[in-house]
A and B are shown apart, each in its own frame.
Chain A
Amino acid sequence: MSIQLALFYFFAAVAVGSALAMVLNLRNTVASAMSLVITMVSLAAVYVLMDAFLVGALQIMVYGGAIVVLFVFVVMLLNLRQDDFPPPRQRFVKALGTLLVLFALGKLVAAVPGALPEAVARLPEGFGGYRDVGTALFTRFLLPFEATSLLLLAALVGAVVLAKRRLD
């Protein structure tokens, strides 16, 4: 087992574990968010293991540094100390859905090995670096990029309008 594989197993285990912790932690939303951060960071590590340096760094910056902080911020703003919800409705549907998902999960996980093509033996120079990804983003994918900027603007306006206390 190479160091890389070992690291991958480690981070994968951390990611899955913390993701489960996020979903299963029924009482503390902030703890859920922190579990999510750990998932994000381990995923960033996995990205780096796969030579996706830029994406890894951005993963931490955006997901870890901004998105989840926003979650925590909102939780704190609303001052939700504990989830003490009444008993859930639709238990049956939820249980069924969970089972279905788990079943599909099993099928898929079993289906993946052998279904994928071989990875290329040699990566091109600068793969995953900010230069190459940036060049692709600003040349071939310029239109999606610009569309994203528009989306962000819309989201910005939408969020402000939604969160504003009163429109005046």
Chain B
Amino acid sequence: MDLVVDLSVVLFAIGVVGALVRRNVIVILMSVELMLNAVNLAFVAFSRMHGNNDGHVFVLIVITVAAAEVAVGLGIVISLFRNRDTVNVDDVSLLKW
């Protein structure tokens, strides 16, 4: 189990770095998905550890949330691309001082 949780940590960190470093909005969204997956993995691991199905239920809910998030996120990306012709987050910085 230690290994699984470690795997989860590593994947999560990769997701964080991806979200932090990449400038393509789509890749950032993917990195967020990766983080969610890492969390799911931790849930599954803990569920297995306690012999209890509750973690699986949480995973299902997280998957649902992820699907919703992607739907809205990609909707934003599409309208962003239509309006600004870019998917670079650095270009989307109007809301500042």
Interface residues of A (CB under 8 A from B): 8, 12, 15-16, 19-20, 22-23, 26, 29, 32-33, 36, 39-40, 43, 46-47, 50-52, 54-55, 58-59, 62-63, 66-68, 70-71, 74-75, 77-78, 80, 83, 85-86, 88-90, 94, 97-98, 101-102, 104-105, 108-109, 112-114, 116-120, 122-124, 127-128, 132-133, 136-137, 140-141, 144-145, 148, 151-152, 154-156, 158-163, 165
Q: Interface size for chain B: under 10, 10 to 19, 20 to 34, or 35 or more residues?
A: 35 or more
Contact A15 B57 (CB under 8 A): no
By secondary structure, the B interface counts as helix
Taking the nearest CB of chain A, how far is it from the CB of B89, in angstroms?
Answer: 10
**Residue B78 contacts which of A67, A78, A140, A145 (CB distance < 8 angstroms)?**
A78
CA distance A127 to B36 in the complex (A): 23
Interface residues of B (CB under 8 A from A): 1-7, 9-11, 13-18, 20-24, 26-27, 29-31, 33-34, 37, 40-41, 44-45, 47-51, 53-54, 56-57, 59-61, 63-72, 74-79, 81-82, 87-88, 90
CA distance A106 to B68 in the complex (A): 32
Contact B22 A70 (CB under 8 A): no
Contact B79 A63 (CB under 8 A): no
Besides A86-B90, A116-B1, A116-B49, 7 new A-B residue pairs in contact (Cβ under 8 A), listed by A number: A15-B11, A16-B7, A29-B27, A33-B30, A86-B88, A109-B10, A154-B68
Q: Give B68's nearest chain A residue, CB to CB.
A: A155
Taking the nearest CB of chain A, how far is it from the CB of B42, in angstroms?
Answer: 10
CA distance A9 to B28 in the complex (A): 27
Return chain A residues, CB-CB under 8 Å to B26.
Answer: 29, 71, 74-75, 80
